[in-house]
Structure 1
Amino acid sequence: MPKHLVTQNVTKCLLIRYILCNFIAYCISMRIISTSRIIEFYTKHANSKTGLQLFISRIKALKITNLNELRNVANSVDVIGNNRVIFNIQGNNYRLIAVVLVANQTVYIRWIGTHAEYDKINANTI
């Protein structure tokens, strides 16, 4: 097969793959890894249950194309770099740090705690 045809076929395959991946990412809602960590936290901190359940339902309903779109759902969201996002939960009584990967619509829970506990950690490294 001539070299220019091989190059065209590879380019077409890459384009189709790109379009398909973006379509799949658009169609699926956000997944939370791991919801059990959130449930464990609100089992120990009963006052946080309502806020964290609301967080779970809102995040699972999302389909975003960039991190700034999170601000449309959550009132106080801080994007701090490296796909890390800080969510203020239940009137800023609790904080949740997550890594949000837009490409595969996944939220990885890194840390949950009270605002006082949050003041003692480094959100960039946890």
Structure 2
Amino acid sequence: MFVVCPLLSPIVVKADWSTPNEVKQQFGNASVLKDGRVVFNIAGNKYRLVVWINYPYRVLYIRFIGTHRQYDQIDVQAI
């Protein structure tokens, strides 16, 4: 699943992340992966949100959102 639109969450819209460390500071439970991907645990780890962040342009794209079980079946680096 791939959505080509910026995430419009008020928190993200106000964010000015220029590095993965800045994302981690705001969302301590986020997993920072290589190539700009970040995994967020939602609802007590019941759901996963995978995003790709283009840090120079401050743009965030949703790459996957689904249950933890669905997440376990994907290659997070390939989506």
Deviation at 1:64, TM superposition (A): 1.6
With the length of structure 1 as denominator, give the TM-score of the two structures: 0.54
Q: Which residue of 2 aligns with 1:89?
A: 42
Indicate the structure whose relative CO is greater, using CA pairs within 8 Å and at least 6 residues apart.
2
Q: For 1:92, what is the secondary structure of its paired residue?
A: coil
More strand by share: 2
| 5+ residue gaps, structure 2 | none
- Which deviations, in whole Å up to 9, do the C-alpha atoms of 1:19-41 show, x marking residues without a partner? xxxxxxxxxxxxx92449xxxxx
Q: For 2:40, what is the secondary structure of its paired residue?
A: strand
Give runs of ≥4 in structure 1 deviating > 6 Å. none
**What count of residue pairs does the alignment treat as equivalent?**
76
Query: Partners in 1 of 2:32 and 2:64 — Cα distance?
Result: 15
Question: What is the identity percentage for the equivalent residue pairs of Structure 1 and Structure 2?
Answer: 32
Query: Partners in 2 of 1:111 and 1:97 — Cα distance?
Result: 5
More helix by share: 1
- Which deviations, in whole Å up to 9, do the C-alpha atoms of 1:14-67 show, x marking residues without a partner? xxxxxxxxxxxxxxxxxx92449xxxxxxxxxxxxxxxxxxx222112012211
Query: Partners in 1 of 2:26 and 2:38 — Cα distance?
Result: 13
Alignment RMSD, CA only?
A: 1.9
Matched, 1:65 2:18: yes
